[in-house]
A = this chain, B = another copy of it.
Amino acid sequence: MKEKLFIIKIGGNVINDPTLLKNFLSDFYKIKGKKILIHGGGKLLDQLAASLNIPQNMINGRRVTDAESLKLASMVYAGYINKNLVSQLQLHGCNAIGLTGADGNILKAKKRNSEPIDFGFVGDCSIEDVNQSLLKDLLHSNLCPVFCSLTHDGQGQLLNTNADTITSVLAMAMKNHFDVDVIYCFEKSGLLRDKENEHSRIEKINRHEIHSMLQESLISDGMIPKIQNIAALLDAGISTVRLVHAAEILAAIQNSKNIGTLFYAA
C-alpha cells in the first residue's frame, strides 16, 4: 500500500486573512504524514503594485504578467508570502521548505504562446515538467515543500503559473509514488450552485457532472481554473478531490462526510 501524501492548496483570500491563515497553519501542522502546500497571493501583489503605482493589466479576469509584474510576483509570492508561511510552519515543528519551480529545477514550465492573447511571463506545465526524483527526496527527508506560484523555463526566465495548476500537476506526478489526497482550501464552504448563497453547497459531484457544469457555463469566473484543474485530476485517474473552507481542513481530513465538496471520478 502506498504512503499517503496530502497535497493542499490555499487560496489568496486565506492568505489575506491573518486569523484564518494562522488557524489554517496551526491545523496544517497537525496533519500527520507527508504533505505539500501550494499558494499564490495575487491580492497582496495587487496591493504592492498599487503602492508602487505599477498598473496591472487584466484580460478576462487573468493577470497579464509583464516584466514589472513578474518582479513583484517574485517579491510577493516567493519572498514575503512563501517565507512567512515557511517560518510560521517551522514554529509549529513542521519542517517546511519554500520553493519556486526554479529551485532545484523542481518544476519547469513553457511560456504561454502570445496568440491569441499575450499574457506575458506566464508558464504552463505538465507532469513531465516535475522533477519527481527531487520532490520524492524532499518528502522522504520529512521536509514539507511549500510551493509558490512561480516556475521557470530552464533558460533563466521565471514564469508566473496558476497555483491551482501547480497543485494538479504535482498531484498527477506524485500519484504513482503516493496515495495522494488533493484538497483545495479557500474562503467558502465548497462549490456553490449559487455563488451568492453559502447554503447552496454541492456535497458531491462526479466527473461527468463537472464537465457538464463547465460546458453549460454554470461555474463562475474565478472558479473556472480551479474546477478545470479538479476535472483534469479526475480525468488523470485521481479518484477524489476535495474543495473545502480553510477552517475545515482538519475536519475534512478526519471525517470527510458533509465537509466541503467532494469531486469523484465515477
Q: Which residues in A have some Cβ–Cβ distance to B below 8 Å? A: 48, 51-52, 71, 74-80, 82-84, 86-88, 90-91, 95-100, 102-105, 134, 137, 141, 143, 150, 152, 154-158
A52-B52, A134-B141 known; A86 vs B102 contact (CB < 8 Å): yes
Q: Is the CB of A156 within 8 A of B91?
A: yes
Q: Is the CB of B79 within 8 A of A102?
A: no
Structural contact, A104 and B100, CB atoms closer than 8 A: no
Contacts of A155 in B (CB 8 A): 91
Determine how close the nearest CB of chain B comes to the CB of A153; give it in whole angstroms.
Answer: 8
So how many copies of this chain end up in the complex? 2
Q: From A73, which residue of chain B is reached at the shortest CB distance?
A: B79
For residue A157, give the distance in angstroms from its CB to the closest CB of chain B: 7
Which among A71, A100, A156 has the highest number of chain B CB atoms within 10 Å?
A: A156
Instruction: Select one of B80, B96, B158 contacting A87, CB under 8 A.
Output: B158
Per the bound structure, the CA–CA distance linking A150 and B77 in Å amounts to: 16
A97-B90 in contact (CB<8A): no
- Asked if residues A97 and B103 are in contact (CB atoms below 8 Å), the reply is yes
Question: Could you list some 24 contacts between A and B, CB below 8 A?
Answer: A51-B52, A52-B52, A74-B79, A74-B84, A75-B75, A75-B76, A75-B80, A77-B79, A78-B78, A78-B79, A83-B150, A87-B102, A87-B152, A87-B156, A87-B158, A88-B156, A90-B154, A96-B102, A96-B103, A97-B99, A97-B103, A98-B100, A98-B103, A134-B141
A158's partner among B74, B77, B83, B143 (CB-CB below 8 A) is: B83
Contacts of A103 in B (CB 8 A): 83, 86, 96-98
Among candidates B48, B71, B86, B141, residue contacting A100 with C-beta atoms closer than 8 Å: B86
Query: Among A48, A52, A95, which residue has the most Cβ atoms of chain B within 10 A?
Result: A95
Nearest 7 CB-CB pairings of A with B = A79-B79, A91-B156, A75-B75, A75-B79, A87-B102, A97-B104, A78-B79
C-alpha gap A76/B74 in the complex (Å)? 9
A21 CB → nearest B CB, Å: 12
